[in-house]
């Protein structure tokens, strides 16, 4: 591995699948999709129906009326023990913050603009600054009284994954000794309607990599880690590799051959001095859209060839949490490394798309399976689960609008340090 080890604390998180890491991982192992619920919006006199993953309830609602600080507070409180240890070792000036987010308060903006259109003035409590990209980062720093660098990242659905890389770089460049890194996002009316305008929202449960896939279910949540140059708490999980690329193929569509996604995965492996065969599990970006699933499947084939690792998407149980997705899904990989007797099942209808390369998607009870049928819903042939001692490295992919691609690899301390 290039550079000193970057340790990750236990994650703090909240989403529709759980209020903490234990509940979230248990739901993922069950393939529990009950957090995705119907939601109806009335716009211009028309009802629009969605399936959405709402994180309820959240603590510490902001006095400004936005949900995002509440989501952040619920997740940040869970990493307080690691933050306090970091403060004791290095002090607030040596601890930074890197957060990623896409939607910072549009649920507050729309009502304020309605009042403006009706009265000619915004409400007195309306504050545009609270909707800026820096708001979650500033909130996170203030939450713990930190005085190190505070960075806000906005790379669409890769935002919190990008934030984790920037946090690691702050530590490796010796600007910080520890960094709170992660992200948060909400499923606001504007987000729901915006993705509807892109024809990317599915009226049915998200069905990644299926021939029958119709798009995403949106979700909301927050997830944070404390990254540090020294281990702050057990277990010893490290950021074993990371890679980024920017193919810039299209404003919203990925490169059709998945070249940018493959480059990010390739860079993450190289940065960690790893081979494709070292990866025990991949949390796929897996949105359930036609273009993203195709690009990622092609990228997986390019990197892993015929020896595909067990893989799956967690978005069917959390919804697509946008800027929070990278950190939330890395938290799932953290759980896989710490509970290696099972892998989260990939929730789909089992209908292989004949136009996509076959991936080794995890089946029921976390059994890696390679589907062999291209029609019907028959259960694919199951393959044995890897022995727990062989689950050393997990990869998490985040591929976003504008060709912003990030791949992160987590490893166990002894494995990653080659002890």
Q: Report pLDDT digits (tens) over 248-272.
A: 877 777 888 999 999 999 999 999 9
104 in a structural domain: yes
304 in a structural domain: yes
- Pick the more confident residue, 390 or 79: 79
1 in a structural domain: no
Neighbouring CB atoms inside 10 A of 68's CB total 29
Per the annotation, the verdict on 320 as an active-site residue is yes
Q: Return d(Cα 260, Cα 405) in angstroms, integer.
A: 7
User: Could you list the residue range(s) of the whole structural domain that residue 97 is in?
Assistant: 7-416
102 in a structural domain: yes
250 in a structural domain: yes
2 in a structural domain: no
- Pick the more confident residue, 368 or 225: 225
193 in a structural domain: yes
Catalytic residue among 16, 157, 347, 394: 157
198 in a structural domain: yes
pTM for this predicted structure: 0.91
For residue 47, the domain's CATH number is 3.40.47.10
pLDDT tens by residue, 351-379: 999 999 999 999 864 444 444 433 333 33
Catalytic residue among 255, 285, 346, 392: 285
Per the annotation, the verdict on 250 as an active-site residue is no
Catalytic residue among 255, 320, 346, 392: 320
Q: Return d(Cα 190, Cα 4) in angstroms, integer.
A: 42
Quote the mean pLDDT of the chain.
Answer: 88
For residue 283, the number of C-alpha atoms closer than 13 Å in the C-beta half-sphere is: 32
Q: How many domains does the chain have?
A: 1
pLDDT tens by residue, 291-314: 999 999 999 999 999 999 999 999
Per the annotation, the verdict on 285 as an active-site residue is yes
pLDDT tens by residue, 163-190: 999 999 999 999 999 999 999 999 888 8
């Amino acid at each position: 591995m290039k550079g000193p080890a970057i340790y990750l604390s236990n994650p703090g998180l909240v989403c529709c699948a759980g209020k903490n890491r234990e509940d979230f991982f248990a739901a993922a192992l069950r393939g529990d999709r009950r957090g995705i619920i119907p939601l109806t919006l009335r716009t211009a006199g028309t009802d629009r129906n969605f399936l959405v993953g709402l994180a309820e309830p959240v603590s510490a609602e902001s006095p400004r009326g936005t949900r995002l600080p509440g989501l952040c507070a619920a997740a940040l409180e869970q990493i307080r023990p690691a933050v306090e240890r970091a403060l004791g070792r290095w002090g607030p000036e040596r601890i930074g913050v890197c957060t990623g987010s896409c939607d910072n308060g549009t649920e507050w903006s729309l009502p304020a603009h309605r009042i403006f259109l009706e009265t000619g003035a915004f409400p007195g409590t309306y504050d545009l600054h609270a909707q800026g990209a820096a708001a979650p980062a500033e909130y996170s720093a203030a939450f713990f009284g930190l005085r190190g660098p505070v960075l806000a990242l906005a790379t669409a659905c890769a935002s919190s994954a990008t934030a984790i890389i920037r946090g690691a770089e702050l530590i490796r460049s010796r600007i910080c000794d520890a960094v709170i890194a992660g992200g948060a996002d909400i499923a606001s009316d504007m987000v729901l309607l915006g993705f509807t305008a892109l024809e990317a929202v599915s009226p049915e449960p998200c069905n990644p990599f299926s021939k029958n896939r119709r798009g995403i279910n949106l979700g909301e949540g927050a997830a944070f880690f404390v990254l540090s140059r020294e281990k702050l708490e057990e277990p010893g999980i490290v950021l074993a590799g990371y890679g980024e690329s920017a193919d810039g193929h299209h404003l919203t569509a990925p490169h059709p051959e998945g070249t940018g996604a493959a480059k990010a995965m390739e860079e993450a492996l190289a940065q960690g001095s790893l081979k494709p065969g070292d990866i025990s599990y991949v949390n796929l970006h897996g949105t359930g859209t036609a273009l993203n699933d195709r690009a990622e499947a092609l990228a997986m084939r390019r990197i892993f060839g015929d020896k595909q690792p067990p893989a799956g998407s967690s978005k069917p149980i959390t919804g697509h949490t946008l800027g929070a997705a990278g950190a939330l899904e890395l938290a799932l990989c953290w759980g896989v490394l710490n509970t290696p007797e099972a892998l989260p099942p990939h929730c789909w209808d089992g209908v292989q798309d004949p136009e996509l390369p076959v991936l080794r998607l995890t089946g029921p009870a976390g059994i890696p399976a390679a589907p062999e049928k291209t029609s019907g819903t028959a259960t694919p042939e199951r393959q044995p689960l890897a022995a727990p001692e062989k689950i050393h490295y997990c990869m998490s992919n985040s591929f976003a609008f504008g060709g912003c691609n990030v791949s992160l690899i987590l490893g166990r301390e002894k494995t990653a340090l080659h002890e």
